[in-house]
Amino acid sequence: MNQPDRRPVTRILKLAAEIEPIETRAVWISFVYFFFLMASYFILRPLRDTMGTVYGVAHLQELFTGTFLVSFIAAPVFGGLASRIRLSKFLPWVYGFIAITMIGFFFLFENIGNDRWVAAAFYIWLSTFNLITISLFWSMMADIFSSAQAKRLFGFIAAGGTIGAVSAPAFVALFVRSVGVDNLLLMSATGFTITAFLASLLEGEKRKLAATSRTAQRTSLDHPLGGSPFDGFSLLFKSRYLLMIALFLLLMTWISTVIYFQLSDLISKDFASRAARTQAYATIDFATNSIALLIQLFGTSRFIQRFGVSTGLLLNPLIMVVAFLAVALSPVLFVLGSIQVARRFSEYAIAKPSRDMLFTLVDQESKYKAKNVIETVVYRFGDLSSSWLSAAVLPFGVAGLAILGLVISAFWFPIAFLLGRRYEIAQDDDVLAVPAVTAGA
């Protein structure tokens, strides 16, 4: 008979997310991995948003168009490389390549400064790779842990990323003037290098869990996925389940883009300098992620286990209906900033872990290829379409954008409900869940 582990760290993990001793090492590596991944991105996100204002708020839709086109090219490139290179080698090199590009942008910023086209290139590249890297991380999580494990563990693992997302903008808000904006790129490159090492380390933990845990996923990373570069697109269109996930994400991006336009318009009017705007964006990120962290550490797993993935998916659409009503009545920066915080922490703490749990029921190829297409191409298509629509509505002011957001939320709510029900039914089928989902039944 197994004796319970009395070590303090294990007891704390058990209290936070019911983490079993056999899962502890894999969970901790995942936690730290996600910390460095998100810190490496979030230390640059205020700079990215500032580069958007350098390019011009009235032309943001052009940046969204460029990001969609680059994402559309990047998806089959990612799929092609994953088809031919062992996943255990390919996944770390994705992060290593991004580190190299950040060093390249450092030299561009040092020599060119506020050039409008360099700003556009940086905005588009950062907006492209951040989705790829985050999607890749959660693909690994869905490939390591089962659906039952995900309900317990994903919230806690997500907290590692949130700590990174809290600490990075806090550092930027406090020290960007003394450290220098351009040096943030070198810090990010260092973080992505560490992330590459942790991704490699986690591959070994996956093998151990697959061999010793009865509930972990049985797949291996010691092989290429095979197939063609465009399999992600074909897998998506063959599965009703994956198409529903794509539609849910599309509507979510429409909402976030509407708020992004509202916020960019008000911040560009209220703050004149690049440093002041960067500081404002960083402050919003800090508030968002601080709240999300508390929920992820002590509330996400309990919320999802008690109320289910369906409720987790429904929470954000419900919040946004109330939020857009508030913006329509009072279109000022304080209200809009508060709503951005509420939207993001509910998404990061509840909706995002719930959405990633949906992929625990699909086959390995869909976890990497189809998920990548959904979370890059579909996501950026949502940005693109919503950005042009938001730009058309922008002359009517923030209140006009709020009305647009209300209409989108009204469509988002039933999609979230139907997707959650589809997941619960597939999970209840247990053995039949994976074949049913991947076949598009």
CATH 3.30.160.60 at 18-439, yes or no = no
- What's the pLDDT at 2? 45
Tens-place pLDDT, residues 226-268: 888 899 999 999 999 999 999 999 988 888 777 777 677 777 7
User: Which regions in the chain score pLDDT beneath 50?
Assistant: 1-2, 430-441
State how far the Cα of 162 lies from the Cα of 350, in Å rounded to an integer: 12
- What's the pLDDT at 330? 66
State how far the Cα of 320 lies from the Cα of 84, in Å rounded to an integer: 42
Q: Where are the domains of the chain?
A: 18-439
Tens-place pLDDT, residues 53-86: 777 767 777 887 888 889 889 889 998 998 898 8
- What's the pLDDT at 29? 94
State how far the Cα of 182 lies from the Cα of 310, in Å rounded to an integer: 43
Q: Kindly report the length of the chain.
A: 441
Closest CA to 123 of 109, 144, 111, 139: 109
Closest CA to 258 of 402, 66, 375, 68: 402
- For the chain, the three-class secondary structure string (H helix, E strand, C coil) is CCCCCCCHHHHHHHHHHCCCHHHHHHHHHHHHHHHHHHHHHHCCHHHHHHHHHHHCHHHHHHHHHHHHHHHHHHHHHHHHHHHHCCHHHHHHHHHHHHHHHHHHHHHHHHHHCCCHHHHHHHHHHHHHHHHHHHHHHHHHHHHHCCHHHHHHHHHHHHHHHHHHHHHHHHHHHHHHHHHCCCHHHHHHHHHHHHHHHHHHHHHHHHHHHHHHCCCCCCCCCCCCCCCCCCHHHHHHHHCHHHHHHHHHHHHHHHHHHHHHHHHHHHHHHHCCCHHHHHHHHHHHHHHHHHHHHHHHHHCHHHHHHHHHHHHHHHHHHHHHHHHHHHHHHCCCHHHHHHHHHHHHHHHHHHHHHHHHHHHHHCCHHHHHHHHHHHHHHHHHHHHHHHHHHHHHHHHHHHHHHHHHHHHHHHHHHHHHHHHHHHHHHHHHHHHHHHHHHHHCC
Tell me how far the alpha carbon of residue 120 is from its chain's centroid: 21
Find where tokens 């550490």 sit.
297
